[in-house]
Amino acid sequence: MAPHELHVVSLNVWGIKWISTHHTERIREIGRQLARSDPAPNIVGLQECFSSADLQAVQEETRDILPYSKYYHSGVFGGGLAILSKWPIEESSMTGYALNGLPWAFYRGDWYVGKGFSQTRIRIPADEDGDEEVVEVFNTHLHAPYHPPPKDVYWTHRLSQAWQLAKQLRSAVSDSSVSLVLGLGDFNSRPLSMPHKIIERHGRMKDAWLQLHPQSAAEEPEGSSIIVDIDPPRERTSSIEPAADLELRRPGHHIPTVRAAIEDLGMTCDSGYNTWRWSKPVRKQLKKNAVIIPDETPDPRAKRLDYVFYADGAKSSVAKHSPGVQGWTVGSAKVGMTATHPTLNCSLSDHFSVEVTLVRAANNEAQSSRQSHSADGSDTSSHSLPDKSTSPPQGDTPKYLSVSDYSSILSHITRWRSRQQQQRRLRLGHLVAQFFIAIGCLVSVWFSPRNFVSFILMLVSTLGLAAGVLDGIQGGLFVSSELNALTEFEWDVSAVLDRAGAPPAFK
């Protein structure tokens, strides 16, 4: 039966095999908590689920409410994306990002897992009074920053990924058979950052949390502007306050408490409540008993990186013009999965989930639904939809970024291209140098007075030439491929910039 409410969950499960601590136990408990959720989720998007066995473990716990699932294969080790659904999955695809990290940064792993976005079409059967609903679900995990700017060398890659995803989101929104488009995942970007704006404006999407809390974006500056100073170590007292060791120097910005960061700002990552952000000595105490963090503890490190974006599909947009019918709106939103493992006392992941209820009903029914969500306020991190006048309609979202935003993207592309062109020259130069060094070593073997010297020369020749060939392949093949992708990205942005700056009649 086509629902009037849709309950959506997105969670980064931190399921890196052999690296993530208590990996198996946490994944199983995530499934159990999903099964006990009230309301029960209808669609769940998982990130960093790098094993189909992990998805199977979750599905074994949620089979009664989420009988359908899909694990997405990509790259060398898999992109870590998975979907669970109450309704059958009609179609699905996995698209890799054109720019996705660097192969020589093997210690990061982003290039090897083949990050991208999954696209899943879910068809909800019709009820007696209405048509069937088609929901297009996009799930993704963008490249991690690893360092704050200006050391964030992957910023251009993340911009490209957001742009590539936004194009597909916009296409889905225009599909006449689609009622609702969802964009879930760990976007590794702050609210109102450039990737966030690309998804909202270029992708024609709305951030579900900001629909309820538009003021929350003003409380959290873009990640690139945050500077964290670490105080000198000091002796801890019996009151464990992990976040108290950090001070955030943000002129004009209030540092939220751990409770406010979750309830008011929707921060899902690096929360002071999350045990994986605590120091090792504090985490060791969890083996004996749980550690209580006071709700008023300052939490300068918390970030909102996980999102549920949504938009009416073309089918819903047409239906909205019918008397008494409206599109999808946000009924409630909360940060979930904050409870710890019942026996290990650790958080279930290094991220908390974002959980959103979308409502579709006639105007009077929508107001009644919002009131019921407000009355059902047992979960303090749940929020009801304010009056419609405070929730901007989808049409209010600007169609384009500002000209300065497009210019900023193009300048980042130019700088990254220059950097990678230098990388190509250096790596190809290394190949040529190693070729001549190898020849020199082989010639020297003829004049070597001792066998062990000959062995060393042969070893240096072999290993050096192997390293040079590997560097040459990366510089000659990978970097060339990346430069081509950058050229396509640049052309696309330039074309949109031309339209954005054109007179309205030509847009």
Which of the residues are catalytic?
A: 351
CB atoms within 10 A of CB 45: 32
Q: At what angle do helices 479-500 and 155-173 cross, to 10 degrees?
A: 60
Q: Which two tokens stand for residue 479?
A: 């970097």
Q: Angle 247-251-253 (CA atoms, 0-180°, nearest 5)?
A: 80
Provide the 3-class DSSP secondary structure of residue 112: helix
Q: Are 138 and 168 in contact (CB under 8 A)?
A: yes
Side chain identity, residue 149: P
Radius of gyration (Cα) for the chain, nearest Å?
Answer: 25
DSSP sequence for 4-70: SEEEEEEEEEEE-TTTSTTHHHHHHHHHHHHHT-SSPPSEEEEEEE--HHHHHHHHHHHTTT--EEE
Distance (Å, whole) CA 271 – CA 292 = 14
Please count the CA atoms within 13 angstroms of the CA of 342 that sit on its side-chain side. Answer: 5
Distance (Å, whole) CA 112 – CA 74 = 9
